[in-house]
Amino acid sequence: MHLHILGICGTFMGGLALIARAAGHRVTGCDAGVYPPMSTQLAEQGIELIEGYGADQLALAPDLFVIGNVVTRGNPLMEAILDAGARYVSGPQWLGDNVLPGAHVLAVAGTHGKTTTSSMLAWILEACGKRPNFLIGGVAHDLKVSARYDHSVRPFVIEADEYDTAFFDKRSKFVHYRPRTAILNNLEYDHADIFPDLAAIETQFHHLVRTIPASGRIVVPTGSEALERVLARGCWSETATFGAGGAWQAGPADESGAFEVRHGDRALGTVRWTLGGAHNRLNALAALAAAEHAGVAPADGVAALSRFGGVKRRMELRGTAGGVKVYDDFAHHPTAIETTLDGLRRQVGQDRILAVLEPRSNTMKLGAMAARLPDSLRQADQVFCFGARSGKHALGWNPAEVLAPLGERASSYDDLDALVEAVAAAARPGDHVLVMSNGSFGGVHGKLLEALARRDAR
């Protein structure tokens, strides 16, 4: 079958394209501004990429058009598809109908930590000989790719996003996955462009809960009022709790980041790794509880996590210049910003942290979370915020006004070069520059390292 994928360079749709190719389909695709690294991965697999959404692509005459959620009404190719009465389906539905049936689907949902937890879970299964298929919104250093598929393999780990499926299907993507094992990692208000309030997201999460069989397992944290409300609507599956007072618990981390794992009264061993932050210990517990449901002995899972090398763009050290370390992190929601800063603060002690933030998500651009930013950034010694006044990523609020509670510690810029020069001028040897954005941020990491190196060479 020939599939033509609209929005193919997005992480989810690109991974879906790789899976479809591995399943034996002919795959082509298009996107606006075909870009690496996904474009490189796709080209290496022999997948033809077309720039833009020209209506002339209808002449490719594929058996099916697969539609990503970046595609809207008014898109020239989509309008041509509708006018011609051609067959089309959303990416999540195609995956749910054609790849996931018969698999042991392990879905990782939640406002925060989906990519990291999915990567941990896939790595545990991989290290313990389960050879899982997976589709994850990032690349773990140990797994090397974001998607993999072998039709003979039963476990399938998928990052289960609550964002909408397509312009013609406003349910969350994850309702199409029908997992046997589901991690509900946490739940807060997000995606203000899609959901009016937290209750609307809770409804989508309960739609997911309704699809899990009685023989399935729901892995859920203790102390989440939102998730307690979700499960109170009805739960037909076994639950495994993690966190304080839960069945799965983590001891405090020592100076190296190592921590003990317990399941009930049993000590399962110690995870010895370099990842920081209480949030990563919770992510680890969730992954261990899910892996056990897929047949992994908990002690083996603990040993596997000790060999987990982390995920790109999650507190990833991009380089050091002029004695200053520059990190890259995907944090873009106030809770994620706060926990990321807390994790780094615990690692570096009293060293200075310079936070560089791009509020790029739709929720942040709309300003729905802006009032929470000053408190989420309180552990940073200095804060540099980038907010364009116009263009695709323009903010609907004034960073200088929002960050005013931080006083002289905070500054805002609408010119990227000016921001880079300001950070380079402020940074001292021994400082840690933490860049937080869910986009490429104009290559700011490399620009910062270059500016720091130039300053050091003077």
Binding residues for ATP: 110-116
Question: CA-based angle 232:237:240, to the nearest 5?
Answer: 85
Residue 289 φ then ψ, to 5°: -65, -40
CA-to-CA distance for 418 and 450, rounded, in angstroms? Answer: 14
DSSP 262: E
Binding residues: 110-116
E strand intervals along 143-209: 147-148, 155-159, 164-166, 169-172, 181-184
- What 3-state class would DSSP assign to 400? helix
Spatial CA neighbour of 330 closest among 358, 351, 354: 358
DSSP 202: H
Half-sphere exposure of residue 438: CA atoms within 13 angstroms, side-chain side: 20
In 10 A of CB 386, how many CB atoms?
A: 25
d(CA 428, CA 259): 32
How is residue 16 written in tokens?
């879906």
Cβ atoms of 214 and 237 within 8 Å: the answer is yes
Answer for the pair 410, 370: CB distance below 8 angstroms, yes or no.
Answer: no
Rg of the chain over Cα atoms, rounded to whole angstroms, equals 22
Residues with Cβ within 8 Å of 361's Cβ and at least 6 positions away in sequence, in order, are 190, 332, 333, 438
HSE toward the beta carbon, residue 384, CA cutoff 13 A? 25
| 3-class secondary structure, 119 | helix
**Cα–Cα distance for residue pair 356/424, rounded to 1 Å:** 11
- Edge-to-edge strands of the sheet including 104-109? 147-148, 133-135, 155-159, 104-109, 181-184, 217-221, 238-242, 248-250, 259-263, 266-271
Report whether 367 contacts 395 (CB < 8 A): yes
Burial classification of residue 396, based on how many CB atoms lie within 10 Å of its CB (0-12 exposed, 13-18 middle, 19 or more buried): exposed
